[in-house]
Amino acid sequence: MSEKWINDGGHGGSDPGAVAKGNTEKVYTLEAELYVHKRLKDHGISSDVTRTSDVTLDENPRVNKVKNYKYCLSHHFNAGGGKGAEFIHSIYSDGKFEKMIADEFKKAGYPLRPRTIYTRKGSDGQDYYYMHRRTGACRTTIIEYDFVDGGNSEKIKDKKYREGMYECVVKAVCRQEGKSYKPLNQSKPKQKEPAKGLYKVQVGAFSVKGNAEKLANELEKKGYKTYVVHE
């Protein structure tokens, strides 16, 4: 495995995902993918992405890339008029990592669906979602951040609001990896302001006043302002 984590921006290109009330899923999922990818790199956590732009990525090339990694975060936004985030894991996973993400969302004040963490079987008894079913040994977490057409449809138009959710995912990955979390905007130490006052340049000190006055005269002839001070 060349990298440990891979971020998947759901949909893309000709597949817009859910679209409602001025929100387009494929736009947000690409944003989420690239954001989390960068922040994991900031923490020294190896990461890759399935797409870097608004391109169509069909099922086969998507899963063929993801299955080469240990963990996958598949970023999505929901539709159907609900409210809050939910996290879906494979029927073969224990859901512990998804619980970490939910904890971070809760601590940050983001709403969660009543059924926050779950898995889903198909009629064949296998994982319903192909991102779980077809990605081999890779442990894939499908993240549904919120509903583009739900109670928070206006809130999620705010980029800072969305980025706060992405940051919760970063925190959960840090916990999973045993890494110390680095806040996004760490305050830089303030530079010391230069001391106020006068800076003096001394070119000589004499015990005889005449010698001091002689040097002062010579300096004044050269254009320097001088003072003779007795201490």
CB 65 within 8 A of CB 9: no
The total number of structural domains in the chain stands at 1
For residue 104, tell me if it sits in a domain: yes
Q: Which CATH number fits the domain that encloses residue 104?
A: 3.40.630.40
Give the DSSP per-residue string, 200-215.
-------SSHHHHHHH
Mean pLDDT score of the chain:
92
For residue 38, tell me if it sits in a domain: yes
Main-chain phi, psi angles of 8, to 5 degrees: -115, 115
For residue 31, tell me if it sits in a domain: yes
Main-chain phi, psi angles of 221, to 5 degrees: -65, -25
Distance CA 207, CA 50 (A): 81
**Angle CA 99–28–92, to nearest 5:** 35
For residue 205, tell me if it sits in a domain: no
- Residue 190: the pLDDT is 57
For residue 43, tell me if it sits in a domain: yes
Q: Hey, what's the torsion of the CAs at 217, 218, 221, 226, to 10 degrees? A: -60
Smallest Cα–Cα separation from 131: which of 118, 119, 141, 144? 141
Q: pLDDT tens, 62-109?
A: 999 999 999 999 999 999 999 999 999 999 999 999 999 999 999 999
For residue 62, tell me if it sits in a domain: yes
- What is this structure's pTM? 0.80
Q: pLDDT tens, 132-186?
A: 999 999 999 999 999 999 999 999 999 999 999 999 999 999 999 999 999 987 5
For residue 212, tell me if it sits in a domain: no
- Residue 195: the pLDDT is 63
Q: Which domain holds residue 63?
A: 5-177
Residue 221 makes CB contacts below 8 A (sequence gap 6+) with none
For residue 190, tell me if it sits in a domain: no
